[in-house]
Amino acid sequence: MVAAVLVAAGMTVMQAPAASAAAACSVQWTTNQWSTGFTAEVQVTNGGAPVTSWTLSWTFAGDQRVTNAWNATVTQSGKAVSAASVGWNGSLATGASARFGFQGTFSGANATPSEFSFNGVSCSGSGTPTSPTPTPTTPAPTTPTPTPTVTTSPPPQQGCASAAICDGFETQTGATPGGAWAVSTPDCSGAGTAAIDRTVAHSGSTSLRINGAAGYCNHVFAGTPLPAGPVWHVRYWVRHTTALPASHVTTVAMRDSADGNRDLRFGGQNGALQFNRASDDATLPEQSPAGVAQSAPLPVNTWNCVEFKVDGRDGTIETWLNGTSVPGLRNDGVPTHDVDGQWLNRTWRPALTDLRLGWESYGEGADTLWYDDVAVSSQRNGC
């Protein structure tokens, strides 16, 4: 059987090896690369008996280095790489597939590995695969071992059914954001890209991926209209790969019709999260060391729940990171030195009209980000 594979520009796809009934596995390997880096999306199909966990191994021909991975635990020693299943995608019936991905660096050529093994059995031969990883013999436990609840595919956990916006990108059908979402690159466009990613997700199987590059003209956003206020509670999950830089970056932009259609921006500076008002460049918190210390970095390589409230009646803001209110990202209307003193230099009653998720860098600072499970309503959405 030959899988039907969509080949998009800039991508290479191969299926290796030619699947035979007795092969331990077949692998579909899709890369998306730029000058020194790449992402690989790997689909492995179990050609043998059912397994409850799996490890796919290969050897790179070149100097490829895996820098981070998703939906598998990937380890590398020299050119040898092993990708082990994670809890929810370990069980594979005969003929069933799992997908994982990783990001890496390389120089020269980025050849697709030609040989794979699945639970230690070569996928190119016709050997009988072993399954699954042997379970060590251990004495019976003195207390019962809890039976984990296993789902083969995590259900959507958006938790926002009554919200005005409740979108986990599961209904997206194309390679780029469509439907309620539109890609925009205000003023100029360059290397930044916005894509629908079906290998990384906070829930379900799909997310919005932003490849953000340094420099203003490499900005890119995927946006959707906001409901009428006057209070907006925005919640989204974000995963990113690179710590926030020292220079100013924006990850979320919201057009403010009460402020000359200039953006209210949420992003980072000096390594920590911040709000920025484009019309007067005020920041929340102030960028003094004491102000920055009251904000928080955005952890990398994990899903983070970001929530913020913007109140158009009094201009107050509150922000929660992974469920905890961040003092430096709170404007309560009473000037607090190092936090909102600068913000309150001007009366501000926002009227937000859109929500754009993406990346905008005003200096150095590049990042790859995934957004998922976006909720907007008039009350706090929770994580």
The site for Ca ion (CB under 5 A) is made up of 168-169, 201, 204, 206, 372
How many whole angstroms separate alpha carbon 204 and alpha carbon 202?
Answer: 7
Q: Please, which residue, 338 or 372, has the CB nearer to Ca ion?
A: 372
CB of 158 to Ca ion, least distance (A): 8
* Three-class SS state of 88: helix
CB of 235 to Ca ion, least distance (A): 14
Joined tokens for residue 58: 């290969």
**Spatial contact of 284 and 340, defined as CB atoms under 8 Å apart:** yes
How many whole angstroms separate alpha carbon 18 and alpha carbon 20?
Answer: 6
Q: Please, which residue, 29 or 236, has the CB nearer to Ca ion?
A: 236
DSSP string of 30-70, one letter each residue: EEEE-SSEEEEEEEEEE-SS-BSS-EEEEE-SS--EEEEEE
CB of 371 to Ca ion, least distance (A): 9
**Spatial contact of 269 and 246, defined as CB atoms under 8 Å apart:** yes
Q: Please, which residue, 209 or 309, has the CB nearer to Ca ion?
A: 209
CB of 209 to Ca ion, least distance (A): 11
| Shortest-Cβ-distance residue relative to Ca ion | 168
Q: Please, which residue, 101 or 168, has the CB nearer to Ca ion?
A: 168
CB of 310 to Ca ion, least distance (A): 24
Joined tokens for residue 121: 């059995």
- β-bridge partners, 237: 305, 372
Q: Please, which residue, 282 or 374, has the CB nearer to Ca ion?
A: 374
CB of 84 to Ca ion, least distance (A): 23
Q: Please, which residue, 180 or 258, has the CB nearer to Ca ion?
A: 180
**Spatial contact of 39 and 210, defined as CB atoms under 8 Å apart:** no
